């Protein structure tokens, strides 16, 4: 069940952790989800063990709990520790199985995920298209992960690299991801795409 609707464009903003910036020790990730007007609509917190973050780092077991401003559960993402290809299990606000995200290819920015619904039916592919490199601009650097169906782009997840972001990357792995649902209107599918953005942040871009 999904009752909290998402706008067509949102921003997944990871909060900066001062202790992590100073010590270099991975802390629990915290996020804000904002609409186009930069208004908070959802919040997310990581649940994981200190030893997992210290030893296993980006390969650790974790859980991401997404809530609204009233602390009502909206979505939960669960991941077991892994070596090569992680699987993210997505639960809805009633903690019923909503779908899953499974990595299919490992190469850094060419990392590829498949997104499945609650009945394990394949829905979408999430990957970076090397053809987009020809559109890469030094003045406005960004990576665009495309959500595709039948080789057609139906949504995008963009990570921008401004001077401020690049400077922060030297001391933190916090990211801002911009999600455009474009052709996706179904709320369950929107949440699965949002979960894919979390998967990218927690695996591809986490140190």
24-33, 97-106, 196-205, range with the lowest pLDDT:
24-33
Q: Which two tokens stand for residue 63?
A: 């859980």
Q: How many residues appear in the chain?
A: 207
What secondary structure does DSSP assign to 171-200, as a single string? T----EEEEE-TT---HHHHHHHHHHHHHI
What domains can you pick out in the chain, each with its CATH number?
A: 9-204 (2.40.160.200)
Mean pLDDT over each residue of the chain, to the nearest integer:
87
Q: Identify which has the larger pLDDT, 80 or 175.
A: 80
Q: Which two tokens stand for residue 127?
A: 């990957």
Q: Which two tokens stand for residue 205?
A: 């871009």
Dihedral (C-alpha) 142, 122, 199, 52: value to the nearest 10 degrees?
Answer: -150
Residue-wise pLDDT tens digits, 167-193: 455 444 567 899 999 999 999 999 999
pTM assigned to the model: 0.90
Average pLDDT over residues 38-52: 96
Reported as type and span, the H/E element at residue 9 is strand 9-14
Average pLDDT over residues 93-99: 97
Indicate if the pLDDT at residue 133 is higher than 80: no
Q: What is the pLDDT of residue 205?
A: 78
**SS3 of the chain: helix, strand, coil, percent, to 5:** 25, 40, 35
Indicate if the pLDDT at residue 138 is higher than 50: yes
Burial class (CB in 10 A: 0-12, 13-18, 19+), 74: buried
Average pLDDT over residues 74-81: 98
- Greatest mean pLDDT among 9-23, 101-115, 124-138 lies in 101-115
Cβ neighbors of 188 (< 8 A, separation 6 or more) are: 2, 92, 98, 99, 117, 118
Cα–Cα distance measured from residue 1 to residue 129, given in angstroms and rounded to the nearest whole number: 33
Average pLDDT over residues 108-114: 79
């Amino acid at each position: 069940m999904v009752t909290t609707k998402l706008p067509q464009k949102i921003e997944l903003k990871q909060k900066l952790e001062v202790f992590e910036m100073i010590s270099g020790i991975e802390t629990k990730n915290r996020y804000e989800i904002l609409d186009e007007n930069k208004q908070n609509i959802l919040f997310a917190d990581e649940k994981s063990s200190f030893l997992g973050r210290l030893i296993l780092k980006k390969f650790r077991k974790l859980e991401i709990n997404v809530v609204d401003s009233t602390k009502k559960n909206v979505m939960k993402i669960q991941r077991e520790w892994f070596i090569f290809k992680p699987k993210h299990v997505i639960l809805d606000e009633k903690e019923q199985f909503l779908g899953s995200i499974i990595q299919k290819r490992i190469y850094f920015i060419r990392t590829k995920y498949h997104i499945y619904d609650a009945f394990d039916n394949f829905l979408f592919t999430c990957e970076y298209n090397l053809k987009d490199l020809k559109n890469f601009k030094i003045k406005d650097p960004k990576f665009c992960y495309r959500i595709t169906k039948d080789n057609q782009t139906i949504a995008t997840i963009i990570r921008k690299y401004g001077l401020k972001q690049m400077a922060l990357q030297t001391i933190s792995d916090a990211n801002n991801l911009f999600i455009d649902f474009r052709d996706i209107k179904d709320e369950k599918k929107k949440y699965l795409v949002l979960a894919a953005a979390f998967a990218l942040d927690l695996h591809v871009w986490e140190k």
